[in-house]
Amino acid sequence: MTTDQKINQETELNSLQHLIGTTILLVEDEPDIADLLTFILEAAGAEVMALTDAEEALVLVESLHPDILLCNVKLPDHDGNWLIEQIRVHSCPSLRQLPAIAITSYTREVSSYKALNAGFDRFLVKLESPEEIVGEIAHLLSTDV
C-alpha cells in the first residue's frame, strides 16, 4: 500500500467515526492483522484493547466489560469458539449478552456455522473491507442482540 493509498484510506475511515466511545476487545494472534484492525477501529473512533490469547481475553473481558468482542476464530491453545462459549455461560448476565463478531480467513460456510453455533452474533471474513467491519460493529451495537 502506498503512502497516498494509506492517507486516502485513513481519511475515508475518519469520515466514518461510527464507533466513538466504543470499547472493543480484539483477540487476534497475527500481529500484522491485529495492528491493521486496531488502526481501522481507532480511525473509526473506537478504543481498542488487543490480545493474542483466548484465556487472557476471558480474564480481561471480566474486568474491562468491553462494548463488543471482535475475535479470530483460530487462535493458539483455546480458539475463539471456546472463548465465546465461556462468555455465553458466564455468571455475569451482562457478559453473557456481550455482542461478539467472529473474524477468520476461512471459508464462510463451515467456519460461519461453527462460530455462530458457538455463540458469536456475526461472522466476517478478515479484512474484506474496513467499511464492512466498522459497519457490522456499529449495526450490532445499535440493535438488541
Give the mean model confidence (pLDDT) for residues 122-139: 86
The whole model's pTM is what? 0.85
Cβ atoms of 93 and 68 closer than 8 Å: no
Domains and CATH numbers, the chain: 23-93+111-128 (3.40.50.2300)
pLDDT (tens digit per residue) in 95-121 = 999 999 999 887 666 678 889 999 999
d(CA 35, CA 113): 27
pLDDT (tens digit per residue) in 50-84 = 999 999 999 999 999 999 999 999 998 999 999 99
Mean pLDDT of the chain: 87
Cβ atoms of 102 and 123 closer than 8 Å: yes
